[in-house]
Structure 1
Amino acid sequence: MFLEVGGNRSTRRKPTVTRENMQTHQRDREMLIWSNPGVEPTTSLLGSQSSNHLATMQSVMYELMSELNDRSEDLERQMLSLEQRVEQLTAGFNALPAHLSATLSAQHAALVHLLRERDSRDYHRAAGGGGASDAGAVVAVVPLSPASPLTHIPSLQLLRYKLPLLRKRPPQCQL
């Protein structure tokens, strides 16, 4: 059954192909075919191996898909919270000019009130000195609306030039 061949590599026994070996192989093959009709033996072996590989591949893919779904849900939650924060910031920035205008008008009114008090005190001290002082005549109360720009208010521009002329600044004024 085995043929001895000389030489270093060839000292191994190699199978010889005989008619008897071929017939046994063909008989085994025919028995497999008859036991599994319509399926070749090699395809059935390959099919079982491929179904095992397919099952493992499907389980790995299922795990990956579930992990991806979890991560996408987390990302959606984070994006929603970020969108809400951006909306809150936008609303705050939109409300900021109105708040600034209200704050500046309140400070302006307080400053005008303090200046008028000071002028009335100076006027009463002078005991009939002929009228109000320059600071009281220059400063006028201009109500601010949230939409009006602050650069075109004449009283603020006049105050900017008249404040250095005043002897004492009110403690609430921060220009």
Structure 2
Amino acid sequence: MGADQVEVLFIGGRSGVGKSTVALEVCAQLEAAGIGHVQLEGDFLGQVFPAPAGDPDRSRIVLDNLAAVWRNFAALGYRRLVYTNTVSVLYADELARALHAPVRIVRVLLTASDEVANGRLATRELGSGLDVHVARSARAAAWLDRDAPADAVRIATDGRSVVDVATDVVAATGWSAP
């Protein structure tokens, strides 16, 4: 990796697939291996209401916030990013451009059956939004299955431990200790 090269692991997948949980374990494994990195939950970069004028899908504010936050991390010497968002594997090229550096992209698409994803959502969504999240998750699963690029590494999460899934994700990066 060159001095200015950035490597980004984009972890995508439907709601309830385990993106955030797997990312936490990925980061724990990277830390144990002495591999410097930054973790960002992409959803947090655009969580505003109402949507900014002229940005109804909040994509512009996500890209602007990613660029601003990454600039601070890059100034401190970080060159690896673990980024989670449902559809990040679909928009990885656009997200990578926001980093304003040469980027090596690794796309990982986590998958789960409807039954498993819905069960996980039922334990997480305790308010009135469960039905909305279940429907949105099913739509995202179909979209991701259909449109994820061929270079996206698909990793099933059904019936597997978080440690095992994260180990497969880390292996997909090819990152090694400094």
TM-score band, normalised by the shorter chain?
under 0.3
Between the two structures, name the one with larger relative contact order (CA 8 Å, sep ≥ 6).
Answer: 2
Higher helix share: 1
Higher strand share: 2
Greater Rg by CA? 1
State TM-score, norm by structure 1.
0.18
